[in-house]
Amino acid sequence: MTGKESYQDRVFDVCKMIPAGRVSTYGAISNFLDLGSARMVGWALNKCIMSNDPVPAHRVVNRKGELSGRIHFAHPDLMAKLLNKEGVVVMDNKVQNFEVIKWDPSKELY
DNA sequence: CGTTTGACGGTCC
DNA sequence: CGGACCGCCAAAC
């Protein structure tokens, strides 16, 4: 390719690097890719639904550990279900032990 | 080309 | 702890 990798492609790549059973945040990805705004991650992931690539967007939550993006999935409960399936405890649309299973590319990935 | 919106984050009170 | 407010950048209108 000519290197036309948009910020969206980088977000996809980072999301694919998130280990199962772990969750990342929009801010962490934004900081790692130096996008300057966490909103860009949300916009990029919104396109991931239209994309044919298997992007585990369900592993990305906001800084509070809430499944803020669940409403964009095929079913609002799909995101929580996928996380629960991977061993992540989700209650009331919030990730339990969030600080424990939180995964930061800038810290975990070196 | 100005305005609005959006899967956010941090600060302030 | 939670609500209000601003900053942030890109796409949609």
Residue-wise pLDDT for A29-61, tens only, equals 999 999 999 999 999 999 999 888 899 999 999
Q: A61 has which bridge partners?
A: A25
Instruction: Give the pLDDT confidence score for residue A110 in this predicted structure.
Output: 72
Name the nucleotide with the smallest C1'–CA separation from A37: C8
Report which secondary-structure segment, H or E, holds A94. Answer: strand A94-95
Q: Which band of pLDDT confidence, cut at 50, 70 and 90, is reported for residue A97?
A: very high
Q: From the CA of A79 to the C1' of B12: give the distance in Å.
A: 33
Interatomic CA distance for residues A79 and A61, integer angstroms: 10
Q: Which nucleotide is nearest to A15 (CA to C1')?
A: B7
Q: In this structure, are residues A70 and A92 in contact, taking their beta carbons and an 8 Å threshold?
A: no
Residue A3's pLDDT band, with cuts at 50, 70 and 90, is: low
- Rounded mean pLDDT, A62-76: 95
- Chain C positions within 7 A of any protein Cβ atom are 7-11
Considering only CA atoms, name the residue closest to the C1' of nucleotide C10: A40
